[in-house]
Structure 1
Amino acid sequence: MFGKQTKTEGQVAEAEQPQDVAPKKKSKKPLLIGLVLALLLGGGGFYVTWAGLLFGSSTEHAEGSAEPNPLPDISFVPIEPVIVSIGPGAEGRHLRFTAQLEVAGSHSAEVTTLLPRIVDVMNGYLRAIEPAEFDDSAALVRMRAQLLRRIQIVTGDGRVRDLLVTEFVLN
């Protein structure tokens, strides 16, 4: 009457396993433990090094930081503004140039005495510059170096350390 259906072993095994079972998720616990340990060890290492417990505290560094280094003995000698016409046919084009000289403190009076000669050297050089040279992006650097060298020749070695350009305006 009723036909017997026989199932093979493979069909029985498939029937016993549910189809909707999701695979087990990996635990995040080891990852969190590793992250916490890394943060603790990093923070502890920083503290030990910062506190001087690892290599010993450096007393010379702590004492030296209380008192700042003294400033070098320098002074600044202002140069009067120089206004120079640019080029032979440049109607209305002018250069306004203002600078200060960085000098050793002991030579400040000597350099101040030589200011008329310094301004004369600057005027001569600035008037000789071609108008096309001002278009170059490195023109100011070149002019500054040339002027400094000429000023050092006029004042003598060791008196003028640097030329600080405070105004450079082309009209």
Structure 2
Amino acid sequence: MTDTTASPEGAATGGKKPIIVGIIGAIVLGGAGFAVTYLDLLPLGHKTTEGSTVAPMPAVEFVALDPLTITLGPDSAARHLRFGAQLECAPGHAEELRQMAPRVLDVLNSYLRAVELRQLEDPHTLPKLKAQMLRRIQIVTGEGRVTDLLISEFILN
């Protein structure tokens, strides 16, 4: 029978060597990443060269809506909501939408008065409010006329 005992220096194998190798590896990989980015070696498609063309912007028109000022409830810290927006539409529908602007403003005013104050104050609910307003506008103006609602003012004061 042999009695094997572990040597004290065998228990602490490696020491600082793996840490140094890891640090050197991180520096080398970081430098390589910087070089690839700085020298633009990866074709990401964000640059245009002399021979290439940029895709044309889609043909759209915008119809500005008159700003709305909505009085909020008595238990709110803010007293008014100032709301301004523009409607994005395909060319040829802008004049129709200008004629429908009073109905659009009416539906927006009615909707914004019905929304709970906590939703108006929470910035995370703005996309949901925008989607709700856009859907109501599309119902009032008819399908296919309004493609987007662009909110230019949303001020609680």
TM-score (norm 2): 0.64
1:91: how far off? Answer: 8.2
When residues 62 and 130 of structure 1 are mapped into structure 2, their CA distance, relative to the original with a 3 A threshold, is: closer
**What are the equivalent positions in structure 2 for 1:17-96 lying under 5 Å apart?**
65=52, 67-90=53-76, 93-96=79-82
- Cα distance in 2 for partners of 1:97, 1:160 equals 18
Partner of 1:124: 110
The share of aligned pairs that are identical, in percent, is: 49
- Cα distance in 2 for partners of 1:135, 1:92 equals 9
Secondary structure of 2:132's aligned partner: helix
1:107: how far off? Answer: 0.8
Choose the corresponding residue for 2:141, options 138, 155, 159: 155
- Cα distance in 2 for partners of 1:138, 1:91 equals 18
Letter in 1 for 2:64: P
Choose the corresponding residue for 1:141, options 121, 127, 135: 127
Unmatched 5+ stretches in structure 1: 1-45, 51-60
- Cα distance in 1 for partners of 2:130, 2:140 equals 15
When residues 127 and 70 of structure 1 are mapped into structure 2, their CA distance, relative to the original with a 3 A threshold, is: same
**Contact preservation (8 Å) 1:84, 1:96:** yes
**Contact preservation (8 Å) 1:101, 1:163:** yes
1:88: how far off? Answer: 4.9
Q: Higher Cα Rg: structure 1 or 2?
A: 1
- Cα distance in 1 for partners of 2:76, 2:122 equals 18
When residues 88 and 74 of structure 1 are mapped into structure 2, their CA distance, relative to the original with a 3 A threshold, is: same
Aligned length: 115
When residues 129 and 62 of structure 1 are mapped into structure 2, their CA distance, relative to the original with a 3 A threshold, is: closer
1:69: how far off? Answer: 2.5
Unmatched 5+ stretches in structure 2: 1-38
Letter in 2 for 1:139: T
1:161: how far off? Answer: 0.5
1:64: how far off? Answer: 6.6
Letter in 1 for 2:130: R
